[in-house]
Every structure is written in C-alpha cells, then in structure tokens.
Amino acid sequence: MTNSDVETKRSDIALEKIMGVPHEMMPIYLNAADVLLVTSLHEGSPNIVKEAMACNLPVVTVKCGDVSERLENVYPSRVVTSYAPRLIADAIMDVLQSKSKSNGREELKKQKLEIESFGKALVNVYHIAVNRGLES
C-alpha cells in the first residue's frame, strides 16, 4: 500500500511485517498488536488467525481459506472481500476505532478449536482407529 493508494488518516499507525519469528514468540507479538492484518492470496485455514483469536486480537483479513467461517461471530474483526487498498484501510480503521479486544477466544471454544477440544477430538480419533483395528 502506498500513500498514493490510501490517504493517510493517522500518523500513529505502524504496520509491522512478522517473518522469521520463532513460534513461541508469536503470542508476545500478537498481544502487543492492536490488529492482525492478513492479505494472503491463498490459505487453507490460516493458523495465525486462530492464534490471534486465542489472544483476543481483532483480525482484518481478505477472504482466504476458512477465515470467513472462523471470524463470522468475532467482534471487532473484518473480512474484506477485495484486495483494494482503500477497503482494507477502511476495515483497519473501523477495527482500531473500536479500541477493544475481540471475543476470539470465546469463539474458538464455541467452534471447538481451542486446545482442550482439539486434544479430546484427537484422542477420540485414536480410540476409534485402535478399536477398528481390533475388530479386524
């Protein structure tokens, strides 16, 4: 995004690109941020979105993978239907103006994607596989 693409509305916003950060450091980065911006061209189910949800960090993202489903009831957060810089910038401003954390962690629980539910589901799959193996 260049200044010619989007009129600057606030000088106190800084975009930080996070690359090469050890996974164990991501919660620190996510908790220090005001919003996560995702502009992937294609994804299946971006883990970074679920990690942001776990930190109650609002998300602004383009439609990719299952983000629309994950963020359907997460507020404040926005799924932008276009890569248009103006629409993305407007979504960021809307989320920042709310000045609040999201309800992402609560939604992860409802979607049964928090660690406890995921672990239980994995154990159930294991038990089913073992039991089917015993039947053979």
pLDDT, one tens digit per residue, over 65-119 is 999 999 999 999 999 999 999 999 999 999 999 999 999 999 999 998 866 655 6
Looking at residue 122, its pLDDT comes to 63
> How high is the pLDDT of residue 3?
45
pLDDT digits (tens, 9 = 90+) for 20-73: 999 899 999 999 999 999 999 988 899 999 999 999 999 999 999 999 999 999
CATH class of 23-104: alpha beta
Asked whether the predicted pLDDT for residue 8 surpasses 60, the reply is no
Q: For residue 2, name the pLDDT band (cuts at 50, 70, 90).
A: very low
What is the reported pLDDT for 43?
86
Instruction: Write the CA distances from 59 to 38, 92, 126, 128, integer angstroms.
Output: 8, 9, 33, 36
